[in-house]
Structure 1
């Protein structure tokens, strides 16, 4: 501990658990046994700076996910309007959606009061918004007598929009994927058996939602793994310009759910902004951190699974530029 007063302020602001318990692992003699103590070169400032780095990574990841969310919402609203109808009386009809999972009571029997399933819950949420006095719902209801999908979707959370997508009929999901990837739907259908494009897009949605929840609740991002939302080893994702790894390596667990996997998989969509926002700000924050702690580079790149991406080169370039400007 090099600066006692600074340490006290940091602990007061963020708490011992968040800083030390959350980020001590790389500084322990044995990451699997706290009783073996910290390495001789470990100090509070170093651990705290890793905490701050991860805070920055969390913020830029959330920003990129919000950009993805905006694009996804527009695609869903457009496809629902085109494939079903812009009329609330029509697009909220349960006939246009799959039932989804059946909800059960604690004893394992089906629920006896609504919602009985995922579709019921989704349509209940739609009904709440159709009757809402919040804007712009009230305005559209009173002045147009209709709340179209592109207005309905405004106040839906990402998880709710993903449910809307997943409960939609196959032809609507295909139209949404086509719009998100800028791929003709007939091409997707022709390639899907071999490339697993539909599955890959669904995997991306699940991983994005996992990181959306993680970042919104202050979770640790730099070494995060999501075992319940791992990417499948599809040819569509493993190819050189996306994950750029072999199926064998992917089967070991590499780039299945790390922040690196998220960044690279965002490359499948037609909007480059989400990927660019996350990766470019990670470049900046890693460069700032590694100027002071260059010994952490391998640890961080491995934890984030970014070793063979452009990010390490970009970080080195930023560090060298900073040196030349001094």
Structure 2
């Protein structure tokens, strides 16, 4: 059976519907302004689930739930989304820099030198999409060619002025996902150098397990960045990538038991923080943690009864949150 057609409703109608479903409109003027400025769909449909009474068949809000409780959860998430985008931009800039450096150091700064087949692994055969039948290396070199012939600056300037493009210019034309693809196909010794420069670790300490962990952090950062860039809800989001439990988790009081039982630090916002903490610029993770802590604290001050619910949704332990709050 098809669902009834959605019809236009004024903001007054929308507030009446919410009241009939048990939502307390604690400040009608504020609520109407919020719906005009942001939309019913973004606020209510995006964040109502935590406040719905699951014990009744018809959709009704839990007794005493106010419009402000839902709206400020939306605001918390919106702030975290921008903080996440800022953090991934900083991480992306760092990774672009070190990858370009290693390419130039290992293979030279001219296109004819660093864009040679021998500098990258062949990868797997692609079974779907525009590059079906090609190996991953062929697709990577095709992406390089597209960037080289781009009409955007500074690529156009270097191509027309020097008939060449050093890697530190080429990487500016790569998306974060393509940058990850480039890293994936680099030769083992080049990967080690990238990881060493990106993390500040000595190359001698970088074993296969750490390489795998670092590759997973790349996955996590790209996945959360893409989700946030498309306006997705981030505070309780779980990405489809996985960050394996590692000694780095111990810095965040995540035992192997907590990782296995609750998925803490595996694919949640904490996994994003742990991924950031691998980078040599510790300030990136620290600034994001401060944003997370400040937003949780502000929400809990206004709505203390929701502290446990909020931390549970974010998959954060109360002990870790209190530690962050103490350091804020």
Give the TM-score taking structure 2 as reference length: 0.84
* Partner residue in 2 for 1:188: 206
**Pair 1:300 & 2:321 matched:** no
Q: Equivalent of 1:177, from 191, 195, 205? A: 195
Q: Retained in 2: the 8 A contact 1:287–1:316?
A: no
| Of 60-69 and 273-282, the range deviating more from structure 2 | 273-282
* Partner residue in 2 for 1:246: 255
Q: Retained in 1: the 8 A contact 2:109–2:166?
A: yes
SS of the counterpart of 1:229?
coil
1:203-262 CA deviation, whole Å, 9 max, x = no partner?
Answer: 111111111011101111111112x2111123x333x32x43222221222221111221
Q: Retained in 2: the 8 A contact 1:279–1:311?
A: no
Q: Distance in 2 between matches of 1:316 and 1:244?
A: 15
Q: Retained in 1: the 8 A contact 2:119–2:186?
A: yes
Q: Distance in 2 between matches of 1:249 and 1:43?
A: 33
**Pair 1:216 & 2:234 matched:** no
* Partner residue in 2 for 1:50: 73
Q: Distance in 1 between matches of 2:221 and 2:108?
A: 28
Q: Distance in 2 between matches of 1:102 and 1:303?
A: 39
Gaps of 5+ in 1: 319-326
* Partner residue in 2 for 1:277: 287
Give the TM-score taking structure 1 as reference length: 0.85
Shift of 1:316: 6.8
| Of 43-52 and 288-297, the range deviating more from structure 2 | 288-297
* Partner residue in 2 for 1:77: 100
Matches within 5 A, 1:1-326: 1-30=25-54, 35=58, 37-104=60-127, 111=132, 116-189=134-207, 192=208, 196-226=209-239, 228-234=240-246, 236-238=247-249, 240-241=250-251, 243-252=252-261, 253-307=263-317, 311-315=321-325
Q: Distance in 1 between matches of 2:144 and 2:51?
A: 49
Q: Distance in 1 between matches of 2:313 and 2:148?
A: 45
| Of 208-217 and 274-283, the range deviating more from structure 2 | 274-283
1:137-193 CA deviation, whole Å, 9 max, x = no partner?
Answer: 22222333321111101121111100000011111111111111111212213xx4x
Shift of 1:312: 3.0
Q: Distance in 2 between matches of 1:174 and 1:247?
A: 27
Q: Retained in 2: the 8 A contact 1:74–1:150?
A: yes
Q: Distance in 2 between matches of 1:111 and 1:271?
A: 38
Gaps of 5+ in 2: 1-24
Point out which structure has higher relative CO (alpha carbons under 8 A, 6+ apart).
1
* Partner residue in 2 for 1:324: none
* Partner residue in 2 for 1:322: none
Runs of 4+ in 1 over 6 A off after TM superposition: none
Q: Distance in 2 between matches of 1:225 and 1:94?
A: 37
Q: Distance in 1 between matches of 2:218 and 2:319?
A: 22
Shift of 1:135: 1.9
Root-mean-square deviation (CA), in Å?
2.3
Shift of 1:130: 1.5
Q: Distance in 2 between matches of 1:56 and 1:149?
A: 34
Q: Distance in 2 between matches of 1:286 and 1:197?
A: 32
SS of the counterpart of 2:58?
helix
